[in-house]
Amino acid sequence: MIRDLNDTMVFVHVVRLGSFTAAAHALQIPKTTVSRRVRELEQAIGVQLLRRTTRQLSLTEAGAVYFDQCKDIAATLEHAERAVHQLRDGPRGWLRVTVPYSFGISWFSPLISGFRQAYPEIQLEILASHVPLDLVGGEIDVALRLGVLPDSSLVARRLASYATGIYAAPHYIKHHGQPATPDALIEHRTLVLHQARRDVGYVWPLRKAGAKQRNYLVEPSIIANDPALLRDALCAGEGLSLGMDHSMQADVEAGRLCRVLPEWIGPPQDLNAVTAREHLPSPKVTAFIGFLKAHMSAQQDRS
């Protein structure tokens, strides 16, 4: 059993920085203390970890193995210490967030000012995108994503779940009628998203309350990668579209759209706050997700 984990931390610093002198300077302790701690670590383990000469410092075979196993532990401890210091001082710094384009404009954009007022020491960088961005490679703190999360290396926290249904403009229904059953959808013009593509063609998953979901073929007249691109065409009577009730509500209330096959519902769209998997989420990420959850809870209480 190692008596003091600090000895391991000192050893890792010596290897990373290449000398006892550099490690002593970085740790702000005497060089003699660095040398003593490494020596005590070797005695505790029972093997030599470093070869010391007047000009050179190198790892033994055992030292290389030990460093390889301990370097991540040291990094985790340093990260934990920084996180605790940040928590003590409060959430602060730049927060890099990515959002779906249309959802970011309609849902997230109105929340920005309220979040900044609640956390004035957090600066926001917002990336709106039609496709999911790489969180790790893009150094993104949080991604707001709709739908299923396929990557198990990421952590998703569900913020809300939105019902979906089929909508059309009164103008379209007046001139083309509306389907009596989902099987009749194939006879109508539809406005669809790219993700509706399957091997058999474009499909809409639908079900009645309490029944199993089934895929129904549709014939697209317009295909897009973002629902905002379909809105004007939908309101102009270009066809039927499957979308979130939440997004269609304002147009329904204004008489620009109406529900088609109202007893049939599409798959719910979950809104997730997605982060890379890490041991300790930073205070600014925790504050951001907590703010969104509080907003969703207040919104549900009002509805």
Looking at the chain, which residues constitute the CATH 1.10.10.10 domain(s)?
5-89
pLDDT of residue 249: 92
Percentage of the chain beyond pLDDT 70 is 90
Q: Among 146-150, 217-221, 240-244, where is mean pLDDT lowest?
A: 146-150
Q: Among 102-116, 138-152, 197-211, where is mean pLDDT lowest?
A: 138-152
Per the model's pLDDT, the better-predicted residue between 147 and 28 turns out to be: 28
Looking at the chain, which residues constitute the CATH 3.40.190.290 domain(s)?
162-269
Q: In terms of CATH architecture, what is 5-89?
A: Orthogonal Bundle (1.10)
What number is the average pLDDT over the span 98-109? Answer: 85
pLDDT of residue 221: 96
Quickly state the pLDDT bin for 236 (edges 50, 70, 90): very high
Q: In terms of CATH architecture, what is 162-269?
A: 3-Layer(aba) Sandwich (3.40)
What number is the average pLDDT over the span 199-226? Answer: 93
pLDDT of residue 156: 86
Quickly state the pLDDT bin for 98 (edges 50, 70, 90): very high
Taking only the tens place, the pLDDT of each residue in 154-193 is: 888 899 888 999 999 999 999 999 999 999 999 999 999 9
Domain 93-155+276-302 falls under CATH 3.40.190.10: yes
Quickly state the pLDDT bin for 301 (edges 50, 70, 90): low
Measured CA to CA, the distance from residue 109 to residue 2 in angstroms comes to: 52
Is residue 1 scored above 80 in pLDDT? no
pLDDT of residue 87: 56
What number is the average pLDDT over the span 49-70? Answer: 85
Quickly state the pLDDT bin for 53 (edges 50, 70, 90): confident
Computed over every residue of the chain, the mean pLDDT equals 87
Residue with tokens 């041991």: 279
Percentage of the chain beyond pLDDT 90 is 41
Taking only the tens place, the pLDDT of each residue in 61-83 is: 988 988 888 877 777 777 767 66
pLDDT of residue 300: 64
Is residue 9 scored above 70 in pLDDT? yes
pLDDT of residue 267: 92
Is residue 226 scored above 70 in pLDDT? yes
